Amino acid sequence: MANEAVLTPQGENFPQWYQDVVARAELAETGPARGSMVIRPWAYAIWELMQADMDRRIKATGVQNAYFLLFIPMSFMEKEQEHVEGFSPELAVVTHGGGEQLAEPLVVRPTSETVINHLFAKWIQSHRDLPLLINQWANVVRWELRPRLFLRTTEFLWQEGHTAHATYEDAQAETMLALEVYRAFMEETLAVAVATGEKSAAERFAGADRTYTCEGLMRDGKALQMGTSHNLGHNFARAFDIQYLSAEGRREYVATTSWGSSTRMLGGVIMTHGDDHGLRLPPAIAPHQVVLIPLAEGEVEGTVDKLASQLRGEGVRTSVDRRFHLSFGRRSVDWELKGVPVRVELGPPGAGRRPGHRGPPGHPGQDPGGGRRGRAGRPGAARRAPAQPPRRVAGRPRGPHLPGGRPGRVSRADRRRRVLPVGLVRLPGL
């Protein structure tokens, strides 16, 4: 079948399947600088939807966004001993600027605890200034010798929360709150079931007292760290002298936290939901939730326009693929690779017969073989109005990958439990 040629099957070689789907779905590619990544428009549009949803959740906890700096003076990195030891092997260093050698080298931020805590020391005077809750969306750099797109690249995009509190207990509560924001986002928006827990001392963030993680379970049976939250205790407060005047008039050190999630989550989405036919996107983060694919130019245009405008009117992100210079099969496979939740194929009766085409299901009675994986269309539509072109809702039955179960099998309990990675949108007027 055609798609076997497109992607290496997961069961044969999972890492190769991952590379294939990232390339064929035009998600990302390696950039010209070592370990770098180019996020292509389709993946970037997914990231924008993820970012907007995560940002809303973070702000709902009272956190404000701000922007700090890309370049960190080397001396700042060195103020917290464990921190610099942990990050030293991964640093990219600017030694020249404006045509001259710099007196002090600048580190390209691998994370921003040092600069942000430096500013916290200026901004925090009194217990009235606490808690101080800040988040930054930014790019960071951690030198990577064996990059894998989205999962491990020298530069990546992320958000990093940084908060300061009056007590260690408040910092611990914030650490757990951020972890819960991540868990809820991953389960509700990404439809990825995660396990949360504390990391061992050896795996702790460099400079943290306690580190917690959200681990997603990928389809190859491995876990992926998809977000972490750290109680930094008084470590950075001491290193950067962040003190406040308590209500009782005493000078006290604040306790700080930090927590981050990144474009790596996109790798997690791919490895949780993708299958041998391509990516599969949860509707919440699908740039197009429905793609209408007219078979040929002309004949069904009116129907396509009407359907598109109805769907858009109901708030469904809808796209029409009019690339008629490409074969119908090629267009259909494209959107299957890209993981669009619902494809609607439209054409005159009988035009859908394409023996051997693997993607869209056969119309019952037309291509029984194609119906094996396909969701049956609505043959009644053609019967009710024979003059109308039959419209078929294409796509495999899709659900979250359930341990031990076949992909695509979703129990009713599962449907209730979470956003399905792919759900059929109610198509008005069909």
The interface with a copy of itself within residues 284-303 (CB under 8 A) comprises: none
The binding track of 213-232 with respect to a copy of itself, each residue x by CB under 8 A or -, is: --------------------
Largest CA distance in the chain: 83
Among 6, 54, 77, 91, binds a copy of itself (CB under 8 A): 91
List the strands of the sheet with 290-294, edge to edge. Answer: 318-320, 290-294, 342-346, 391-394
Residue 410 C-beta: closest distance to a copy of itself, Å: 32
| Beta-bridge partner residues of 100 | 97
Is 121 a binding residue for a copy of itself by CB under 8 A? The answer is: no
The interface with a copy of itself within residues 24-63 (CB under 8 A) comprises: 29, 31-34, 36-41, 44-45, 47-48
Half-sphere exposure in the Cβ direction for 317 (13 Å, CA): 13
Q: Pick the closer one to a copy of itself by CB: 13 or 139.
A: 139
Residue 329 C-beta: closest distance to a copy of itself, Å: 17
Is 108 a binding residue for a copy of itself by CB under 8 A? The answer is: yes
Is 89 a binding residue for a copy of itself by CB under 8 A? The answer is: yes
Beta strands 290-294; 318-320: pairing state: parallel
- CA pair distance 243, 251, nearest whole angstrom: 6
Helix axes 168-184, 41-60, angle to 10 degrees: 140
The binding track of 141-160 with respect to a copy of itself, each residue x by CB under 8 A or -, is: x-xxx--------xx-x---
Is 68 a binding residue for a copy of itself by CB under 8 A? The answer is: yes
Q: Pick the closer one to a copy of itself by CB: 31 or 379.
A: 31
Contacts of 130 (CB under 8 A, 6+ apart): 124, 164, 165, 166, 170, 244, 254
User: Given the structure tokens 């959107």, which residue do they identify?
Assistant: 335
Among 1, 11, 13, 66, binds a copy of itself (CB under 8 A): 66
Residue 250 C-beta: closest distance to a copy of itself, Å: 18
The binding track of 308-347 with respect to a copy of itself, each residue x by CB under 8 A or -, is: ---------------x-x----------------------
Say which amino acid occupies 393: V
- CA pair distance 430, 416, nearest whole angstrom: 25
Is 269 a binding residue for a copy of itself by CB under 8 A? The answer is: no
Among 7, 84, 119, 320, binds a copy of itself (CB under 8 A): 119
Residue 386 C-beta: closest distance to a copy of itself, Å: 36
Residue 106 C-beta: closest distance to a copy of itself, Å: 6
Minimal CA–CA distance to 380: which of 363, 367, 366, 396? 363
Among 58, 72, 224, 307, binds a copy of itself (CB under 8 A): 72
208: Cα separation from own chain's centroid: 25
Helix axes 264-273, 41-60, angle to 10 degrees: 110
In the numeric block, which tokens belong to residue 141?
Answer: 């750099």
366: helix, coil or strand?
coil
Q: Are 174 and 163 in contact (CB under 8 A)?
A: yes
Q: Pick the closer one to a copy of itself by CB: 330 or 353.
A: 330
Q: Pick the closer one to a copy of itself by CB: 73 or 423.
A: 73
Burial class (CB in 10 A: 0-12, 13-18, 19+), 181: buried
Contacts of 103 (CB under 8 A, 6+ apart): none
What number of chain residues touch a copy of itself (CB under 8 A)? 57
Among 5, 60, 67, 355, binds a copy of itself (CB under 8 A): 67
Residue 254 C-beta: closest distance to a copy of itself, Å: 18
Binding segment for a copy of itself among 104-112, 201-209, 289-297, 420-428 (CB under 8 A)? Answer: 104-112
Is 5 a binding residue for a copy of itself by CB under 8 A? The answer is: no
Among 2, 93, 184, 376, binds a copy of itself (CB under 8 A): 93
Listed in sequence order, the DSSP H helices in 143-207 are: 168-184
Is 139 a binding residue for a copy of itself by CB under 8 A? The answer is: yes
Q: What is the DSSP string of 212-264?
A: EEEEEEPTTS-EEEEEEEEEEETHHHHHHT-EEE-TTS-EEE-EEEEEEEETH
Residue 187 C-beta: closest distance to a copy of itself, Å: 26
| Interface residues toward a copy of itself, by CB under 8 A | 29, 31-34, 36-41, 44-45, 47-48, 64-73, 76, 88-99, 105-106, 108, 115, 118-119, 128, 134, 138-139, 141, 143-145, 154-155, 157, 323, 325
